[in-house]
Amino acid sequence: MSPVLSVENLRVAIGSREIVQGLSFAVEPEATLGIVGESGSGKSMTVLAATGLLDAPGARVTGSSVLTPEGAGPLELVGARRSALRRVHGDKIGFVFQDPTTSLNPLLTLERQITESLEAHRSLTRRAAASRALELLEAVGLPEPEQRLQSYPHQLSGGQRQRVMIAIALACDPALLVADEPTTALDVTTQAQIIELVRTLQRERGTAVVWISHDLGVIGQVADDVLVLQEGRPLEHRGVVELMDEPRHPYTRELLAARPRLGASTPPAATDDGEVLLSVRDLDVRFSVTSAAGRSIVHAVDGVSFDVRRGQTLGIVGESGSGKSTIANVLTGLVRPHGGSAELAGEDVLHRASHDLRRRIAMVFQDPFSSLDPRMRAGESIAEPLRVHRLPSDGRPRDERVAELLELVDLPAAFAQRYPHELSGGQRQRVSIARALALEPELVILDESTASLDVSIQARVLDLLRRLQSELSLTFVFIAHDLAIVQQMSHDVLVMQRGQTAEHAAAADLFADPQQDYTRRLLAAIPPDRPRRAVG
């Protein structure tokens, strides 16, 4: 079979910087090419440049990218005229982008957004286009498609919006579908559904797919061939099974080793005889939400109870909106609960928490870019809790303590002088951890603390956290959406769904024998270890 898209020696430069450095690949009908890389690898830019949709100011694209749709002559897309590209976009090539919340026009009905390309490319009448739109909404599995035609994007959930994006992309039966991190912003169960949907539609229509992702697990589920990118350079380009079974390039090996996998490692089993450090009972949190159309009450946490024993980790896992972060905010005093109790070694955490109590609970947030004040040097940030609590009390200089803390998180003491923008994401997160440890807390709450890091960095930070826990006998509340990471880190696991406890058990039991349907669904949605092609 001849390839639908054939790319030779593609290069993209902005100014003197070459962002994509000579890539070649091809995709055949009904096949999927997965492009993998960490942030800054140039994977999105590669595909946008190859398909002529790149609009970065000042970008220069060279090389060749030939589109050969069935029943039409080949067309060179690099350097093609805008009018030629417009005829191809939406007709021969469909696109699905990462963030479904912002990818749809908020002011147009779904019908209008789907029929647009049909009218542009197929000159269908309004009525014919509308009935085609209905077919498409049925095909992507949107419930009540007839009513949904007249809906607006804000009336749909994230997963539904991504289904609509897919309907738009497939409206004209394109030969090629470009999916740029289409499931990254979605919950794991929704991700699994979208992967299945794209596979089914692809098989029905013989569409070639280029699927971009940072997640090797997802790529394993969708791809036939994989191209691994690092800083705009191709490292490895092979069949998915060969690549995953026998990675040749050390970077590929590292990516494979670093990706969180279920059952990869678990902490020692929880012991029931340890002293209970944190005890939470019937926690209840409500928010009142004001929107343009009035006020409503959101029950963010609804009757959640748990204990955390000293020196152990409780993992709290759930999808977005499950209320897991709200628990962290309540324990650290950022949010006032509606009811319930929480005690740290017998002392009330929720009401009239003393200044001293704030010393004993520390928190590390998700986003390494915004958890450090951009105007403070790393050393000042680490010293901030010391300043607030007038420590060290023995009159030692604070700098000494800061250097100690930096050493603890494996950073050189000289980093105290750097500003956050002079640090990488992983380094920033280490500084955040050092700051959290400055007051020698008993309990550290980690709210998605590694979620925005690249996998290789994430693995190192997780190692650091485990080491710190055993060295300093810390107690963790580890909040994450990624079950594999929670399994690696936790002794006990609390699964949350819509503010309530779905399941609460020792990690070993929960993963071996989940009792609740919801937990089983979550586990089933995780992309399996082996690529789908290897399984059959």
Partner 1 sequence: MTEPRDEIVADEHGAGVAPTDEAARMTPFRLLASNPLTVVSALVLAVVVLLAIAAPWVAPYGINAVDVANALQPPSASHWFGTDDLGRDVFSRVIVAARVSLQVAVVSVTFALLVGVLIGVVSGYVGGLLDVVLMRVVDVMFAFPVLLLALAIVAILQPGMATTMLAIGIVYTPIFARVARASTLSVRHEPYVQVSRTMGTPTTTILRTHVLPNISGPLIVQTSLSLAFAILSEAALSFLGLGIQPPAPSWGGMLFSAQGFLGQAWWMSVFPGVAIFVTVLAFNLLGDGLRDVLDPKQRTLIESRSRR
Partner 2 sequence: MRVAPRQLVVFLGRRLLYSAVVLLGVLVLVFALVQVVPGDPIRLALGTRYTEEAYQALLAASGLDRPLVEQFFSYLGHALTGDLGVSFRSGEPVTALLLQRLPATLSLAVVGLVIALVISIPAGIWSALHEGRLSDAIIRVTSQFGVSVPDFWMGMLLILLFSTTWVLLPSSGYVALSDDGAQWARRVLLPGLTVGLVAGAIMTRYIRSAVLEVASMSYVRTARSKGLSSGIVVRRHILRNALVPVLTIAGIQFATILGGVIVVEVVFAWPGLGRLVYESVAARDYSMIQGSVLLIAAMFLLVNLIVDVLYAVVDPRIRLS
Which of 26, 345, 369, 466 contacts partner 1 by CB under 8 A? 369
Distance CA 218, CA 208 (A): 17
**Are 499 and 478 contacting, i.e. CB atoms less than 8 angstroms apart?**
no
- Specify the residue for token string 């380009």: 237
Beta-bridge mates of residue 116: none
401 binds partner 1 (CB under 8 A): no
Considering CB distances under 5 to 8 angstroms, the limit depending on partner class, which of partner 2, partner 1, none binds residue 345?
A: none
Minimum CB–partner distance for residue 479 and partner 1 (Å): 14
Q: Which is nearer to partner 2, 198 or 486 (CB)?
A: 198
3-class state of residue 182 by DSSP = coil
Contacts of residue 201, defined as CB under 8 A and 6 or more positions apart, other chains included, come to 139, 140, 166, 170, 207
105 binds partner 2 (CB under 8 A): yes
Q: Kind of pairing, strands 5-14 and 208-213?
A: unpaired
Q: In what order do the strands lie in the sheet with 276-291?
A: 294-309, 276-291, 339-344, 347-348
Distance CA 300, CA 498 (A): 7
Distance CA 525, CA 493 (A): 18
3-class state of residue 530 by DSSP = coil
Minimum CB–partner distance for residue 302 and partner 2 (Å): 23
Beta-bridge mates of residue 5: 27, 67
**Are 176 and 202 contacting, i.e. CB atoms less than 8 angstroms apart?**
no
229 binds partner 1 (CB under 8 A): no
Minimum CB–partner distance for residue 116 and partner 2 (Å): 6
Considering CB distances under 5 to 8 angstroms, the limit depending on partner class, which of partner 2, partner 1, none binds residue 534?
A: none
Distance CA 462, CA 220 (A): 23
Distance CA 75, CA 452 (A): 39
Residues 279-318 close enough to bind partner 1 by CB under 8 A: none
Amino acid in the structure at residue 10 = L
Considering CB distances under 5 to 8 angstroms, the limit depending on partner class, which of partner 1, partner 2, none binds residue 457?
A: partner 1
Residues 57-96 close enough to bind partner 2 by CB under 8 A: 57, 82, 85-91, 93-95
Binding mask 332-371 for partner 2 (x = CB under 8 A): ----------------------------------------
210 binds partner 2 (CB under 8 A): no
Considering CB distances under 5 to 8 angstroms, the limit depending on partner class, which of partner 2, partner 1, none binds residue 381?
A: partner 1
Q: CA nearest 349: which of 300, 279, 276?
A: 279
Which of 95, 97, 251, 511 contacts partner 1 by CB under 8 A? 251
Considering CB distances under 5 to 8 angstroms, the limit depending on partner class, which of partner 1, partner 2, none binds residue 299?
A: none
358 binds partner 1 (CB under 8 A): yes
**Joined tokens for residue 353:** 């928490």
Residues that bind partner 2 (CB under 8 A): 53, 55, 57, 82, 85-91, 93-95, 97, 99, 102-108, 116-117, 120-121, 150, 152, 154-155, 165, 168-169, 291-294
Which residues in this chain contact partner 1 in the complex, by CB under 8 A? 14-17, 19, 38-40, 57-58, 230, 250-251, 254, 332-334, 355, 358-359, 361-363, 365-367, 369-376, 381, 384-385, 388-389, 410-412, 414-415, 418, 421-427, 432, 435-436, 439, 453-454, 456-457, 460
